[in-house]
Amino acid sequence: MPEIVYLNGEFMEPEKAAIPINDRGFLFGDSVYEVVRSYGGRLFTLDRHLARLERSLHEIDIRSVDIAQLGRAIEEACRRSGFAEALVYVQVTRGAAPRKHAYDRGLRPTVLVHVRDLEPLLDPSIREGVAAITAPDIRWQRCDIKSTNLLPNVLAKTKAKEQGALEAILVNEDGIVTEATSAGVFCVEQGVVLTHPLSPAILPSITREVVLEVAGEVGIPVREEPVSLERLRAAAEVFLASTTIDVCPVITIDGAPVGDGKPGPVTRRLLAAYLERAGAAAPDGKGGGP
Ligand SMILES: Cc1ncc(COP(=O)(O)O)c(C=O)c1O
């Protein structure tokens, strides 16, 4: 089964896809993106990802992208790929123009969809818990926009990887945990799930939204409030959540165990409820992405 690219209205093999060197996404990071996945061949929460993409585009003043048509292209690309666990990368740039910082209105946005097979990238062992490090949150002040300006995330995540950790948990100047480089961060204190409230400091994560919904369904209380790193370290449980890793227990932070150093009951319950909602395999089955 093939990887599929959809670029500016045409489906093609990835090798055939080419972007001009003066594309503003390449030159300036003048672009936004989405990552969607399927479970068992069904795209999960595509409508929410499209709504977030539309908002990101609006926030950076890129107009004239037909979101409904893009949604159909994503579905068609997935269908053509045939992957059961498809990883769908979607990027829209402002388009190509001779390099200068200020943009002209009326550029034709570059619209890219790339469908890959997520299955070989899934690591079931992450269900048993992962290590995280902490890093200063040095990103810009509009982290609610899913922009491709990811250099701080790239540097922090690489530091995590080099230290044998899956993620870097980002901490702002006030000592507050915002999120991780490519996932939301949650902790559990006395049975209550805590996570940073929606604000320009964090991405409005779709997985976060679903986790909060399923928590309500299974009767786990949630409070959206800023949590200091000190509190996070002392929490009974810590977990990450994103499209590719679902709900993922964190068992060490900077080498020190979280709680008893094992995935906790609230995290396990939420993982099971999340996977049930996604229509995926049980927690002891496949799961856990890059
Ligand atoms: C900074 C950041 N926070 C949170 C998330 C999780 O978002 P979602 O649940 O929509 O995948 C991501 C995903 O890439 C991210 O990059």
**Per-residue pLDDT at 287 exceeds 70:** no
Residue-wise pLDDT for 66-111, tens only, equals: 999 999 999 999 999 999 999 999 999 999 999 999 999 999 999 9
Residues 18 and 103 reside in one and the same domain: yes
Indicate the number of domains in the chain.
2
Q: Chain-centre distance of CA 151, in angstroms?
A: 15
Residues 69 and 175 reside in one and the same domain: no
pTM over cut 0.85: yes
Specify the pLDDT at position 198: 98
**Per-residue pLDDT at 1 exceeds 70:** no
Taking residues 128-140, what's their average pLDDT?
98
Best of 34, 36, 177, 207 for a ligand 1 pocket test (most atoms within 8 Å of beta carbon): 207
Nearest-CA residue for atom 16 of ligand 1:
182
Residue-wise pLDDT for 247-260, tens only, equals: 999 999 999 999 99
Q: How far is CA 55 from CA 61, 102, 204, in A?
A: 10, 21, 11
Rounded to the nearest angstrom, the distance between the alpha carbon of 146 and the centre of ligand 1 is 8
Within-domain flag for 68? yes
Residue-wise pLDDT for 183-194, tens only, equals: 999 999 999 999
CA–CA separation, 284 vs 174, rounded Å? 38
CATH of the domain at 29: 3.30.470.10
End residue of a domain, out of 54, 89, 120: 120
Residue 178 CB less than 6 A away from ligand 1 = no
Specify the pLDDT at position 280: 81
Taking residues 41-50, what's their average pLDDT?
98
Residues 158 and 45 reside in one and the same domain: no
Residue 179 CB less than 6 A away from ligand 1 = yes
CATH of the domain at 238: 3.20.10.10
Residue 91 CB less than 6 A away from ligand 1 = no
Within-domain flag for 288? no
Within-domain flag for 193? yes
Cα angle: 71, vertex 74, 76; to 5 degrees: 110
Within-domain flag for 284? no
Task: Enumerate the active-site residues.
Answer: 146
Residues 94 and 148 reside in one and the same domain: no
Residue 206 CB less than 6 A away from ligand 1 = yes
Specify the pLDDT at position 215: 98
End residue of a domain, out of 54, 88, 120: 120
Residues 270 and 132 reside in one and the same domain: yes
Average pLDDT, the chain: 96
**Per-residue pLDDT at 153 exceeds 80:** yes
Residue 195 CB less than 6 A away from ligand 1 = no
Nearest-CA residue for atom 14 of ligand 1:
182
Residue 45 CB less than 6 A away from ligand 1 = no
Nearest-CA residue for atom 4 of ligand 1:
183
Taking residues 206-228, what's their average pLDDT?
98
Residues 84 and 221 reside in one and the same domain: no
Within-domain flag for 242? yes
Within-domain flag for 290? no
Structure letter (DSSP) for residue 119: G
Taking residues 42-67, what's their average pLDDT?
97
Residues 113 and 131 reside in one and the same domain: no
Other Cβ atoms closer than 10 A to 89? 14
Residues 128 and 113 reside in one and the same domain: no
Residues 161 and 101 reside in one and the same domain: no
Within-domain flag for 37? yes
Residues 62 and 134 reside in one and the same domain: no
End residue of a domain, out of 120, 155, 187: 120
Residues 62 and 130 reside in one and the same domain: no
Within-domain flag for 286? no
Rounded to the nearest angstrom, the distance between the alpha carbon of 183 and the centre of ligand 1 is 4
Boundaries of domain holding 70: 4-120
What atom in ligand 1 is closest to the CA of residue 35?
A: 11
Interior/surface letters 151-181, b for 16+ CB within 10 angstroms, e for the rest: ebbeebbeebeeeebbbbbbbbeeebbbbbb
Kindly state the percentage of the chain with pLDDT values over 90.
96
